[in-house]
Structure 1
């Protein structure tokens, strides 16, 4: 499960990140609403943990903008504002669930997993935009239709979809796509990327080259 934690309390964020990571989740943290909006524009998350008292762009404004641009990612509001009026405001702005601070960590985990189940996020799957890739089979689906990918194309796409919006180095891709260590041409990864790009046309997902760094996959802007 990939969680975007939007919280301006650094000590709490660090503690929550450690706990949720130990419980098998992948956590990314940002401390203000503007940065969170940018992250949600380039990456894909299974659930958002959102504090309301944020600098620059507060939680309710952020939530309204997320829903305003049609993003349906599940949002769990986690805040010290526990009054009924605050809960109603959060839910009306588009929150899927509400948890007041202080909270029990077991309950937090249960609520996050429940939101993902309701949204149809299955374990062992990676998501980016309209793409869904099964870890165990390596099969990738675009809008529910299986794509015809070679094993190397599937391995490369899986490596990129582990963290959409984040670069993967050419060296790491070489090791994952050609694991046998067999001699390959210097441009072997580029060839696989080129072929995969053609197959991703009209899926709403693109592979971006970061010169001197590597490649990343993200939703088309």
Structure 2
């Protein structure tokens, strides 16, 4: 799953971008200024930063330089109201990977974010266990050779479980890794998603509940 940090001091715009990304199953967090952005970047790995240049306090250019200097490979999509070629040159000069001028079409921003999330990345490995085969690059799941259509969230949850290599993943970890930071820790979204995932995968179940601990993927006889 692509994880994005939206750094924008115009709250209504930040929330609109966040909502548009979430609708496309992109996990998106929001920072209101440069200082908050640096704090979030220090604690969370992001694939893409959607970065307003004209931020209060720490300037967007300085945040962009920090992202590039970190060496994490995080991509930067710069947002600005300035549309001249010189302005764009300055944005690319601090390390931006792409540039979008306000106002913009939200659909275009989502497409650019997805493109940046894929750029330069090596295809993730195919995950296999208990007769399941999940291809993160092609977004496909098979059980015993038969294609299984999943919702975006079901796919994200199954990907986390398979990546655990048979280990138990708690509901809290699933929320942190398959949802975004604003997920309600008291929600029943994980239980509902697991239930729907089991139905899609069919019987006998290969997604097992470990009471009081979490969930794991294993052969039916391991239940």
TM > 0.5 fold call: yes
Task: State the match for 2:17 in structure 1.
Answer: 16
Task: State the match for 1:63 in structure 2.
Answer: 64
> Deviation per CA, 1:135-184, whole angstroms, max 9, x where unpaired?
448443xxxxxx8x433159886554336889996998x978x96474x6
> Deviation per CA, 1:44-81, whole angstroms, max 9, x where unpaired?
22211000000110100111122223232011001112
Secondary structure of 1:78 counterpart: strand
Task: Call closer, same or farther: CA 1:90–1:157 in 2, change over 3 Å.
Answer: same
Provide TM-score, normalisation by structure 2: 0.61
Distance 1:164 1:138 in 2: 17
Task: State the match for 1:161 in structure 2.
Answer: 177
Task: Call closer, same or farther: CA 1:90–1:26 in 2, change over 3 Å.
Answer: same
Mapping 1:1-221, distance limit 5 Å: 1-120=2-121, 124=136, 135-136=158-159, 138-140=161-163, 149-152=165-168, 158=174, 160-162=176-178, 180=209, 182=211
Distance 1:69 1:103 in 2: 29
Distance 1:105 1:164 in 2: 20
Secondary structure of 2:12 counterpart: helix
Task: State the match for 2:147 in structure 1.
Answer: none
> What count of residue pairs does the alignment treat as equivalent?
170
Task: State the match for 2:148 in structure 1.
Answer: none
What is the aligned-residue RMSD (CA, Å)? Answer: 3.7
Task: Call closer, same or farther: CA 1:163–1:180 in 2, change over 3 Å.
Answer: closer
Distance 1:59 1:98 in 2: 13
> Deviation per CA, 1:72-108, whole angstroms, max 9, x where unpaired?
2011001112111111111111100001111122221
Task: Call closer, same or farther: CA 1:35–1:163 in 2, change over 3 Å.
Answer: farther
Distance 1:7 1:160 in 2: 23
